[in-house]
Amino acid sequence: MMTGDQYRASLNDGRETYFEGRVVEDVAKDPILGITVNSGAQGYDRFYDPAPNAIGAFMKVPGSTEELREQVELHETVDLLTHVTYASIMTLLTAADRIESTLPENARRIRTYIKDAQQRDVRITQCITDSKGDRSRRPSNQDDPDQYVRIVERRDDGIVIRGAKLHISAASMGHELMTIPTKSMKPGEEDYSVACMVPVNAPGVKIINTTYAPRHEDPRDFPISSRHHTPEGFVIFDDVFVEKERVFLDANPELAGVFAHSLGLWERLGGLSSMVSGYEALVGFAQLVSEANGLERTGHIKEKISEMLINATLIRASLEAAIENCHITSDGAAFPDELYTNAGKYHGAANWSMMVRHLHDIGGGAILTAPGIADLENQQVGHLARKYMGTMQSVDGIYRTRLFHAIRDLTADAYGGWNAVTNIQAGGGLYAQRIVSRLHYDMDHAKKVALQKAHMDEYIGQV
Ligand SMILES: Cc1cc2nc3c(=O)[nH]c(=O)nc-3n(C[C@H](O)[C@H](O)[C@H](O)COP(=O)(O)OP(=O)(O)OC[C@H]3O[C@@H](n4cnc5c(N)ncnc54)[C@H](O)[C@@H]3O)c2cc1C
């Protein structure tokens, strides 16, 4: 396994990655991108085991409800790179199972790859979302045929791919790009039905990074985003060769959807579990700021916080239900329940803005206008700023100002904006969760209940 320092060094591998108009020579040494590398390095150090064939504990495939719960709780505490690597491995294992009967050779390649990746202790990021061009048209019917990643050449020893995958979290900080179709393909879309593993430093891979990371000099004013941020990669495959052993799908459009669907479950489970702590933090901030403002016993404030905590409880309940109702596959792997996972993730994403609205309503304008911590320390004016930011003997100005900075950073500034859009879009968008929820909902049961309520039992089974 690699240590954090070995991981940092491993990123200096000739990869072609850009940030704010310039080439990044060494991602680990970049002042902004390096912050994410440091989080990744901490993940490496945390799970480091010097034993020759050791595999990170975060990789464990759960085999029971208890083990699934342990993994979910563990992954709540790990850095994003560690988490997406796990989700990718689980996705590939799921997909291997599902394509085994039709494409046994491809399933073998997947399993061989997983063993190798675990031994090399690499980090994998997930390239699913294509640039997509005109959304109303099929991949094969675009003005520009490269709007979905496709195979442009087949050779004896592999394939050449072209296209772009957008919004790829931490793409420049991992070692491998798990490149899979964004959706199901149809006959005639064989070239678009491609799943493969691409090293980040493969010739022709170009990544443009974007991030909300604060450029402010004092991290105390950005207590959350200055420590953790995830640059997204705009990943371009400019005719990239992929060797045969790393190609998991080539043609077979009927199987293209298997990969994204397999990923969706793990991605949304991760999204749901981080939403649980996200919701709890919003409730906590609402209560703390109401106490700091002297309003914790005021009726309308209590009502808003009650509504917030009921939502937080429902999100936690859906995570619990997803784990508790997990399904054990023939291989003995525990999979979270699809309906509870998707419905919970949907509810959390759809109601995030309501939670933030209540918090902003309760907190007041200082969420945006509280002076910087350095102003509170200023010799001339600091004592006055602290005095007026304080509210009572037990609530000093520094404490209350720090609360406001955390709330602004989390919900009302660049990171807050990232959070708002990410909750809606990451993991496939609200629409995707509605589709999957509908697919797994027992509609026949619901119809039966309705007919029973209406005393129309004779129609049960007929409609
Ligand atoms: C911060 C962040 C991190 C992300 N990380 C990753 C990642 O690591 N890997 C990855 O692969 N992706 C990632 N994503 C991408 C995410 O999965 C997509 O943003 C999401 O699937 C929506 O795709 P889109 O952005 O292209 O929007 P669009 O597809 O343009 O969707 C916009 C709206 O149009 C609707 N729409 C689109 N097409 C149709 C159609 N044919 N018919 C009807 N309605 C349609 C959608 O339902 C939606 O309401 C990330 C996104 C964000 C914001």
Q: What is the pLDDT of residue 53?
A: 87
Nearest atom in ligand 1 to the alpha carbon of residue 230 is 1
Q: What is the pLDDT of residue 265?
A: 81
Tell me which of 80, 86, 129 to substitute to probe ligand 1's pocket, judged by most ligand atoms within 8 Å of the beta carbon: 129
Q: What is the pLDDT of residues 324-368, one digit of tens each?
A: 999 988 778 888 999 999 999 999 999 999 999 999 999 999 999
Q: What is the pLDDT of residue 278?
A: 95
**288 C-alpha vs ligand 1 centroid, how far in Å?**
35
pLDDT at 214 over 80: yes
336/326 Cα distance (integer angstroms): 4
In CATH, the architecture of 258-447 is Up-down Bundle (1.20)
SS3 (DSSP) at 156: coil
**260 C-alpha vs ligand 1 centroid, how far in Å?**
13
pLDDT at 385 over 80: yes
User: Which residues, at least 6 apart from 450, have a Cβ–Cβ distance to it below 8 Å?
Assistant: none
From the list 165, 172, 164, 166, the residue with the least C-alpha distance to 231 is 172
Per the CB < 8 A criterion, the answer to whether 156 and 234 are in contact is no
Assess whether the C-beta atom of 131 lies below 6 angstroms from ligand 1. Answer: no
Q: What is the pLDDT of residues 164-213, one digit of tens each?
A: 999 999 999 999 999 999 999 999 999 999 999 999 999 999 999 999 88
**456 C-alpha vs ligand 1 centroid, how far in Å?**
43
Instruction: Name the closest-CA residue to atom 31, ligand 1.
Output: 429
**234 C-alpha vs ligand 1 centroid, how far in Å?**
13
Q: What is the pLDDT of residue 360?
A: 98
**424 C-alpha vs ligand 1 centroid, how far in Å?**
9
SS3 (DSSP) at 151: strand
**348 C-alpha vs ligand 1 centroid, how far in Å?**
17
Determine the average pLDDT of the residues in 79-85: 94
SS3 (DSSP) at 165: strand
Domain residue extents for the chain: 258-447
pTM: 0.92
Instruction: Name the closest-CA residue to atom 46, ligand 1.
Output: 431
Q: What is the pLDDT of residue 159?
A: 98
Residues above pLDDT 90, as percent of the chain: 87
Q: What is the pLDDT of residue 428?
A: 81
Assess whether the C-beta atom of 30 lies below 6 angstroms from ligand 1. Answer: no
Assess whether the C-beta atom of 169 lies below 6 angstroms from ligand 1. Answer: yes
Helix (H) or strand (E) holding 168: strand 158-169
Assess whether the C-beta atom of 425 lies below 6 angstroms from ligand 1. Answer: yes
pLDDT band at 268 (very low <50, low <70, confident <90, very high): confident
User: Which residues, at least 6 apart from 266, have a Cβ–Cβ distance to it below 8 Å?
Assistant: 86, 87, 90, 91, 94
Beta carbons within 10 angstroms of residue 119's beta carbon: 13
From the list 394, 376, 217, the residue with the least C-alpha distance to 293 is 394
Q: What is the pLDDT of residue 165?
A: 98
Q: What is the pLDDT of residue 300?
A: 97
**233 C-alpha vs ligand 1 centroid, how far in Å?**
14
Q: What is the pLDDT of residue 56?
A: 87
> Mean pLDDT for the chain?
95
Q: What is the pLDDT of residues 298-316, one digit of tens each?
A: 999 999 999 999 999 999 9
- The label of the residue with tokens 């206008």 reads 369
The sign of the torsion formed by the CA atoms of 352, 355, 358, 359 equals: negative
pLDDT at 70 over 90: yes
pLDDT at 267 over 90: no
pLDDT band at 11 (very low <50, low <70, confident <90, very high): very high
Residue ranges in 144-255 assigned as alpha helix (H): none
**431 C-alpha vs ligand 1 centroid, how far in Å?**
9
Determine the average pLDDT of the residues in 79-84: 93
Nearest atom in ligand 1 to the alpha carbon of residue 125 is 8
pLDDT at 418 over 80: yes
Q: What is the pLDDT of residue 262?
A: 86
Assess whether the C-beta atom of 419 lies below 6 angstroms from ligand 1. Answer: no
Lowest mean pLDDT among 111-125, 253-267, 368-382: 253-267
The total number of residues shown for the chain amounts to 463
Assess whether the C-beta atom of 411 lies below 6 angstroms from ligand 1. Answer: no
SS3 (DSSP) at 133: coil
Assess whether the C-beta atom of 435 lies below 6 angstroms from ligand 1. Answer: no
pLDDT at 384 over 90: yes
Nearest atom in ligand 1 to the alpha carbon of residue 132 is 26
Per the CB < 8 A criterion, the answer to whether 38 and 79 are in contact is no
Amino acid symbol at 242 = V
Q: What is the pLDDT of residues 422-449, one digit of tens each?
A: 999 988 889 988 999 999 999 999 999 9
